[in-house]
């Protein structure tokens, strides 16, 4: 069989059978392309139709989420959960609340999650969920009523050994609290392991809040070290200013780098003196405010609505906001400014055209499914603590996180080396995650 032609035909079929889901097509295209050299050596996996099965979610639910706003008006949103693969463990992946959420977006995120979770080696299947609900500008009481209605349907699909959601865009500690409270009320059980990202006082893990951003920087450090480079004195730009971005900035600063710019959906700030993280956290985590407030409070900082945060000259870029935010023209600007490395904190933030520009310019590039796996890895550590009724210290949890990120980096390089070029982290992450999942699927029969 001509494996490349077979995978191209499979991709064409996926596009035909999943109309109107461009993000999902983009995600499968990347994986199927990376699998060409792998499957050329594994006729057994082709024969078992592992790829065909992997691209079809085990289950998807779409549901109505009715709730009442503060004016007494009934609002209706749409909820989603895609349970993609349970080959390696319970479905695991976050919930996203953002007006851009569609079934295609949730599907691409769930698909990515399969490979990411496999890379952690911590016994996690892949899933994702969310809603087109926009929490921006809503009161705490409105967010609570929405979360309660969302969980009223979702709870029947969850369980600590079945499906374990967590946060993502628009879902942080506040939302996880409301979701957990409603799950507990509906089931009459304090089943701590059914959600991760809980408060540390009631079953949450230390370092889960920090984990995704810290993990990205741990992975980046490993990647830089392969070229004898370090973070010391490096200029860094970060897109986004949410959970992942803030804690990536914190770790960059702790390791001697200088984060000079970050963004939100209304623009970006540049602070050549280095970002004031306490001020950023106060604006974003406490006030849920806009970055314009940073420029107003900080002498020398400039807010801009024109252009992109990726136009700011830097040594390292960390896209940490959302999918397809770093396009070809941004990659060209980064390469022209001499960027050394790009590590994805967000899921699929770099377009395929931009990845190609970075590859041509020999820029180190870490795909999100490897670089941002620290969040879900620490969720697995939270599940372990819940199962054994323990709570580990911050230091112990962060040490485990750093070790998982080192292992993922090593697995990406050795796998990429086997099938192509060790510097090709896209190949290494996709092939490494795939092989772990595929071996489990092959062993479990046709299910």
Ligand X SMILES: NC(=O)C1=CN([C@@H]2O[C@H](COP(=O)(O)OP(=O)(O)OC[C@H]3O[C@@H](n4cnc5c(N)ncnc54)[C@H](OP(=O)(O)O)[C@@H]3O)[C@@H](O)[C@H]2O)C=CC1
Ligand Y SMILES: O=C(O)CCC(=O)C(=O)O
- Return residues touching ligand Y (CB under 6 A): 92-94, 116, 166, 168, 196, 347, 375-376, 379
Site string for ligand X, 353-392 (x = CB under 6 A): -------------------x--x-----------------
Which residue of the set 36, 107, 128, 251 is catalytic? Answer: 128
Work out which of 30, 83, 168, 191 binds ligand X, going by CB under 6 A: 168
Binding partner at 265 among ligand Y, ligand X, none, C-beta below 5 to 8 Å by kind = ligand X
Instruction: Give the shortest CB-374-to-ligand Y separation in angstroms.
Output: 9
Is residue 167 a contact point for ligand X (CB under 6 A)? yes
Task: Return d(Cα 435, Cα 430) in angstroms, integer.
Answer: 9
For residues 389 and 203, the answer to whether their CB atoms sit within 8 Å is no
Joined together, the tokens standing for residue 174 give 């506040």
Instruction: Give the shortest CB-255-to-ligand Y separation in angstroms.
Output: 22
For 350-375, the DSSP string reads B-HHHHHHHHHTT-EEE-HHHHTTHH
Work out which of 30, 175, 250, 264 binds ligand X, going by CB under 6 A: 264
Task: Return d(Cα 320, Cα 249) in angstroms, integer.
Answer: 10
Nearer residue to ligand X within complex by CB, 372 or 385: 372
Is residue 428 a contact point for ligand X (CB under 6 A)? no
Task: Return d(Cα 198, Cα 205) in angstroms, integer.
Answer: 7
Nearest CA-CA partner of 93 in 169, 19, 18, 150: 169
Task: Return d(Cα 148, Cα 181) in angstroms, integer.
Answer: 8
> Catalytic: 128?
yes
Work out which of 85, 120, 152, 212 binds ligand X, going by CB under 6 A: 212
Is residue 322 a contact point for ligand X (CB under 6 A)? yes
Secondary structure (3-state) at 236: strand
Task: Return d(Cα 157, Cα 330) in angstroms, integer.
Answer: 41
Nearest CA-CA partner of 176 in 167, 185, 168: 167
Binding partner at 92 among ligand X, ligand Y, none, C-beta below 5 to 8 Å by kind = ligand Y
Is residue 345 a contact point for ligand X (CB under 6 A)? yes
Is residue 205 a contact point for ligand X (CB under 6 A)? no
Binding partner at 321 among ligand X, ligand Y, none, C-beta below 5 to 8 Å by kind = ligand X
Task: Return d(Cα 302, Cα 50) in angstroms, integer.
Answer: 51
Is residue 433 a contact point for ligand X (CB under 6 A)? no
| Burial of 8: CB neighbours in 10 Å, binned 0-12, 13-18, 19+ | middle
Residue 92 among known ligand-binding residues: yes
Task: Return d(Cα 415, Cα 417) in angstroms, integer.
Answer: 5
Nearer residue to ligand Y within complex by CB, 89 or 257: 89
Residue 32 CA from chain centroid, whole number: 20
Residue 62 CA from chain centroid, whole number: 21
Site string for ligand X, 67-106 (x = CB under 6 A): ---------------------------------x------
Q: Which residues are designated catalytic? A: 128
Interface with ligand X (CB under 6 A): 100, 167-170, 212, 240-245, 264-266, 320-322, 345-347, 372, 375
């Amino acid at each position: 069989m001509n494996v490349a032609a077979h995978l191209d035909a499979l991709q064409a079929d996926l596009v035909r059978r999943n109309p109107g889901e461009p993000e999902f097509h983009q995600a499968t295209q990347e994986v199927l392309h990376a699998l060409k050299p792998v499957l050329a050596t594994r006729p057994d996996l082709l024969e078992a139709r592992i790829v065909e099965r992997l691209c079809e979610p085990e289950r998807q639910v779409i549901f109505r989420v009715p709730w009442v706003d503060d004016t007494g008006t009934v609002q209706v949103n749409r909820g989603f959960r895609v349970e993609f693969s349970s080959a390696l463990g319970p479905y695991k992946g976050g919930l996203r609340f953002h007006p851009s959420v569609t079934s295609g977006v949730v599907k691409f995120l769930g698909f990515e999650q399969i490979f990411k979770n496999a890379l952690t080696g911590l016994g996690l299947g892949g899933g994702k969920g969310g809603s087109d609900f926009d929490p921006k500008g809503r009161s705490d009481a409105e967010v609570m009523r929405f979360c309660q209605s969302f969980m009223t349907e979702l709870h029947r699909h969850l369980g600590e050994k079945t499906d374990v959601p967590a946060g993502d865009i628009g879902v942080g500690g506040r939302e996880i609290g409301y979701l957990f409270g409603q799950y507990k009320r509906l089931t009459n059980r304090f089943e701590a392991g059914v959600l991760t990202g809980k408060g540390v006082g009631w079953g949450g893990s230390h370092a889960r809040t920090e984990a995704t951003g810290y993990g990205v920087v741990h992975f980046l450090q490993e990647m830089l070290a392969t070229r004898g480079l370090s973070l010391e004195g490096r200029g860094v730009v970060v897109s986004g200013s949410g959970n992942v971005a803030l804690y990536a900035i914190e770790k960059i600063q702790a390791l001697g780098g200088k984060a000079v710019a970050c963004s939100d959906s209304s623009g970006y700030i540049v602070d050549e003196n280095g970002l004031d993280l306490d001020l950023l956290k106060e604006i974003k985590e406490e006030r849920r405010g806009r970055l314009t407030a940073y420029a107003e409070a900080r002498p020398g900082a400039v807010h801009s609505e024109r252009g992109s945060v990726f136009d700011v000259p830097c040594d390292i870029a960390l896209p940490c906001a959302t999918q397809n935010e770093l396009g070809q023209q941004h990659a060209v600007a980064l390469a022209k400014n001499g960027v050394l490395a790009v590590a994805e904190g967000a899921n699929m933030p770099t377009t395929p055209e931009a990845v190609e520009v970075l590859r041509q310019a020999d820029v180190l590039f870490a795909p999100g499914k490897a670089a941002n796996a620290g969040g879900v890895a620490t969720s697995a550590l939270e599940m372990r603590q819940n199962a054994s009724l323990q709570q580990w210290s911050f230091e112990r949890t962060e040490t485990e996180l750093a070790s998982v990120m080192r292992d993922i980096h090593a697995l990406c390089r050795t796998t990429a080396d086997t099938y192509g070029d060790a510097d090709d982290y896209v190949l290494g992450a996709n092939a490494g995650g795939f092989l772990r999942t595929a071996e489990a699927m092959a062993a479990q029969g046709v299910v």
